Amino acid sequence: MNFLERLKSEEGFCIEHNMESVEIQKKSKMLCYKYNMCPPDDTQKKAEILGELLGDYNENVFIEPSFRCDYGFNIHFSGMAFINYNCVILDTSPVHIGNEVFIGPGVCIACAGHGMHPQQRAVIETSKPINIKDRVWIGANSTVCSGVTIGEGSIIGAGSVVNKDIPAGVVAAGSPCRVIRKITDEDMVILD
């Protein structure tokens, strides 16, 4: 399996660092730069750039600048999503983002990792896919770590560090992120 195939694999990887990643990232870095420099009202240009950058994209995906990612082709949207300001997605493995997903400002979604032992840290790269299911809300300044799945309809509280799977239909928060409670009908908002 070559480096590009490893990046796109749903299995994740643990490999020795190589310079291939730098070459492959050139396109995404330029597209992120162009996207972040677009005038706010130039929706057509922004859509064109996202269509070229992202693996799976549709017209119901809204991303506020500044947006950064490693590769782009590993980010897959399956429906409507809103990503607020200053989001970083380190997509060294596939990142799947479901329908009706809201991602708060300053969120970092990081498939990438390094060797744990200090002697290996500079030479070992690790990565595992991230799955964010339908109707998830990730609060501001949260971090979603490598290999995590966030279950359908769950809320991640602001400032959380999600390093383990979160089940469906819960409110979870903290560092490390833990389930606080289930979401119930009592959470419905009554409109005036």
Q: Is 192 part of a structural domain of the chain? A: no
Q: Is 180 part of a structural domain of the chain? A: yes
Per-residue pLDDT at 20: 74
Domain count, the chain: 1
> CA–CA distance from 114 to each of 71, 110, 111, 127 (Å)?
18, 11, 10, 8
Integer Cα distance of 171 and 177 in angstroms: 10
Q: What is the DSSP letter of 66?
A: S
Q: What is the pLDDT of residues 43-91, one digit of tens each?
A: 999 999 999 999 999 999 999 999 999 999 999 999 999 999 999 999 9
Q: Which amino acid is at 13?
A: F
Q: What is the pLDDT of residues 6-22, one digit of tens each?
A: 999 999 999 887 767 78
Q: What is the pLDDT of residues 114-127, one digit of tens each?
A: 989 999 988 999 99
Is 114 catalytic? The answer is yes
Q: Tokens 């390093």, residue?
A: 163
Query: For residues 182, 186, 188 and 191, what is the CA-based torsion angle, rounded to 10 degrees?
Result: -160
pTM: 0.95
Residue 126: give the domain boundaries.
3-187
Integer Cα distance of 23 and 84 in angstroms: 28
Q: Is 15 part of a structural domain of the chain? A: yes
Judge contact between 154 and 139, C-beta under 8 A. Answer: no
Which is catalytic among the residues 17, 96, 114, 117? 114
CATH of the domain at 140: 2.160.10.10
Q: What is the DSSP letter of 119?
A: T
Q: What is the pLDDT of residues 138-166, one digit of tens each?
A: 999 999 999 999 999 999 999 999 999 99
Q: Is 146 part of a structural domain of the chain? A: yes
